[in-house]
Amino acid sequence: MPRALLPLPEGFEEIETVTPIDLLRRAGVEVVVAALGPGIHVTGRSGITLHADLPLAALGDGEAFDALILPGGPGVRVLRDDPRIVARARACDAEGRWIGAICAAPLVLHDAGLLPPGARYTSHPSTAGELPGRLPEARVVRHGRIITSRGAGTALDFGLELIEVLVSPEKRAEIAAAICA
């Protein structure tokens, strides 16, 4: 069974977090939701509190995941300020693992040096100043082993793309049909 790590910062965008978690779990992916802080209750931008599986600090440094998934929203500032997240992104890239980033979260990949000139990616319009190379009209972009998506309105597309790469195109089609996507 594939495993994915989703670090959860205060201020996360709820749709961009819950949608991929839900879709991936429907597809049989083990999604580990890890709170960045010491507790396991984390509140999103719209005041919805999620119960994470564990604090990120409880994971061993060498614990392997097939993917790192970064949610967007105001919590991206917290992700960018946490050296553990940049280190995990770089390690995933070096090990040839998948990385997904939605909304403003591609800024974390930029900080990690994973969006060099010529890379194809998209992100929320608010990031255009820091990410001038983004593809502004693309809903989801897969470039190498990095998947980016524009925002809350593209979270379903993002989750289905993650299913395709982590499980199979057939599973993507099955889940899409089951949810009438």
Tens digit of each residue's pLDDT (9 = 90 or more) over 34-61? 999 999 999 999 999 999 999 999 997 6
Whether the pLDDT of residue 2 is over 90: the answer is yes
Cβ neighbour number for residue 144 with a 10 Å cutoff: 12
Q: Where are the beta strands (DSSP E) in 36-133?
A: 41-43, 49-51, 54-55, 67-70, 98-102
pLDDT for residue 135 is more than 80: yes
Q: Taking 80 as the threshold, does the pLDDT of residue 62 lie above it? A: no
Give the active site residue among 34, 35, 103, 105.
Answer: 103
Burial (CB count within 10 angstroms: exposed 0-12, middle 13-18, buried 19+), residue 40: middle
Name the CA radius of gyration of the chain, rounded: 15
Query: In this structure, is the dihedral angle defined by the CA atoms of residues 10, 13, 15 and 20, taken in order, positive or negative?
Result: negative
The share of the chain scoring above pLDDT 90, in percent, equals: 97
Q: Does 3.40.50.880 match the CATH number of domain 3-178?
A: yes
Known active-site residue 92: no
Which positions ≥6 away from 62 have C-beta within 8 Å?
A: none
Residue 161 CA to residue 169 CA, distance in Å, equals 9
Read off the pLDDT of residues 143-158 as tens digits, 9 standing for 90 and up.
999 999 999 999 999 9
